[in-house]
Structure 1
C-alpha cells in the first residue's frame, strides 16, 4: 500500500493515516475477570462521547445549520428549491453509456463557475485537451468556435476551472491526495471524478468499495468541497430498460454512504428526451423525484423545456460576432 501523504494539518494527518490502515487491523484485548469491554471503551471514550457543552454542540448557537445558499444548485431556476449540492458532501452519478452523464456534469460545472465557484474536473477517460475542448464548445454554444470566442472562454475559466492530467488507472489513495492538494492550493469547491471504473479498484472488492466510500466522505468533510463521482451501471439485457440503484456497477457500498445519488437516462420515443432522477438526498432539502429534460444538440446542454434557449455561461459580449471585439470609428 502507498505511504501516507505528508500533510501538515492535524485533520489531514488523520485522513492520511486512515489511508494506511490495513484491513486486517485488530485490537488486542485480554479477556479476564475484569470488564474487558470497559477497558476497550476507555481507550477512546473520553474523547469521543460528547456532552451538550462540547464545542461541537455549542457551535450550533452561532450557526444552527449551513445556509442552503452555500450549496450549488442545478442550472435551472425551477429546480433550485429541490436540489442542493452542499459543501462537505458526496454525490454519485450514474446512467447508461451515451446517456450524457459527463456532458451534464460539464454543464453543471459551468453553472458553478458562473456562480464564482472553483472546479477540479478529473477525467480519467479523456485527454486534457479533449476536456478543455468540450467545455469550450458547451460554453460557446457552437461546435466550431472562432479563436476570439475560444479566448473568451479560456479567460472565463482562468483560476476557476482546473483539469487533471491523467488517462491511466490510478490508485484511489493517490487521487484523494491530489484532490486534497488542489483544494488547499487553488480553493476548489466542486470536484468531478470520471469515473469509478478508472480507479484501481476491483468491482468485486467490496471491502475496497467500503474503504473508498469512507475516504470520499472524509475527504469531502475535511476539504469542505463537494465531490461528484461517476459510476457506470451494469449492462442489462435491454439497454432501454429503466435502471435503478441496484444497477450501479461495483458501487453498492459507495452508494450507501453517498449523500446524493442521481441517474441520467435517455428516454427513447419520448418528447422530452432525458430524465434526471434523484434517488437519495440527505440534508434539509431532502427531496427525491425526477426532472424530464430536453436535449439541445448544438450546445449539448440539457434544458427544462424544448423551447428554452441554451444557457450562456460567458459574458454577453463574448457571443457577439463570434467573440470579435468591434473597433469604434473615431
Structure 2
C-alpha cells in the first residue's frame, strides 16, 4: 500500500544537515560531456507532462526546479495539482505529497475519484488504485505547521531513499510564520530552490493568491500573497482560476423550468490554467479546461471526457 511517512516511523536525523560545500565545488571539466551533448543535440522540450496533450509543448516539469501553483482559496489548485501527480505516476514517475491542510485519507479519497472516473468508487476500485500507486506514491502525514528544517530533511530523505521525482508542499503559509513574514517566505522558497537542485527533483509549492473584490478578475503573478521574492525565485508559476461567473450563469439557466445551457456557455471554459512565468521555456499563456464533476477531473475540452490514468500514459493522447 502507499507508504504514509511520519516522524514516528522514519528517522530523519541523517538528512538534517546541509550538503557539504566540497560536494558542490567541482572543476569545470566535470561538465564537458554534458556541454558537448547539448551542442550536438537540437533543442527539445523535456520533463514530466501535464495530463492534457495540448500543454505538452508548452509546460514541463524538470528535475532541479520549483513550480509555484497559485490560486484564490476554493479555486481548485490542490485538486488540479493532485490530478497532475496522477499523470506523473502514469508516466512512471514517483511523488510524495505533503499536505498540511488535508488528512491522508481525504487526499486519497479525492485521488480515488479521479482515478476511478466516477463519484461512487467501491472497495475494489480503492484496492486497485492502491496497488497501482504502490512504489510510486507517498504521503507525508503532518497537519498544521511544518518546520522548514524538518521539511528539508523529509525532502532529502525522499530524494535519496525513495528516489522520488516530485515533492508537493501544500501550502507555503503552513511553513512560515505568517503572511507578513516576508523574510521567512524568501528564505523558505530559497531553501526549496536549493533542495530541488541538490536533490535533482521537482518541487511543487501551493500558494494562495489575494482575493480581489471581484472573483471574475483573473489573478496574476503580482497577486501572490506575501513577499514578491516568492515569485522571483521559482522557475515556473501556474495560476488556477475557476470561472465562478459561468457557474452562476449555468445555475441560473437550469433553475428555469425546461431551461438549458446555450452552446456558447457550454463552450466557455470552466477553469483556466495560466502560466505567468516559465524561466526555462519560451511559452507563457493560458490553457482552457472543463470540469467533469463526478471524477473531480479537469478535462481538455467541452466534451468533459475524464482520463483513465491506469490505462493511458497520463494524458489525453
Normalised-by-shorter TM-score class: 0.7 to 0.9
In structure 2, the CA distance between the partners of 1:193 and 1:160, relative to structure 1 (3 Å rule), is same
Asked whether 1:60 is paired with 2:22, we answer no
Larger radius of gyration: 1
Q: How does 1:244-323 map to 2 (within 5 A)?
A: 244-267=220-243, 268-269=245-246, 271-283=268-280, 285-315=281-311
Output the CA distance in 2 between the equivalents of 1:153 and 1:117.
16
Alignment of 1:1-330 (within 5 A): 6-7=14-15, 12-14=19-21, 54-56=29-31, 59-64=34-39, 70-267=46-243, 268-269=245-246, 271-283=268-280, 285-315=281-311
Q: Which moved more, 1:205-214 or 1:88-97?
A: 205-214
Q: For 1:281 and 1:185, locate their aligned partners in 2 and report how far apart those are by CA, in whole Å.
A: 30
Flag the structure with more relative contact order, 1 or 2, with Cα contacts below 8 A and sequence separation at least 6: 2
- How far the C-alpha of 1:293 sits from its partner, in A, is 1.1
User: Which residue matches 1:19?
Assistant: none
TM-score by length of 1: 0.77
Distance 1:204 1:56 in 2: 41
Q: Which runs of 5+ in 1 are unaligned?
A: 16-46, 317-330
Matched residues in 2 for 1:14 and 1:295: separation?
Answer: 48
Deviation at 1:68, TM superposition (A): 5.3
User: TM-score scaled by structure 2?
Assistant: 0.81
Structure 2's unaligned 5+ residue stretches are 1-11, 247-264, 313-317
CA contact (8 A) 1:190 1:225 kept: yes
Aligned pair count?
277
> What is the Cα deviation at residue 6 of structure 1?
3.8
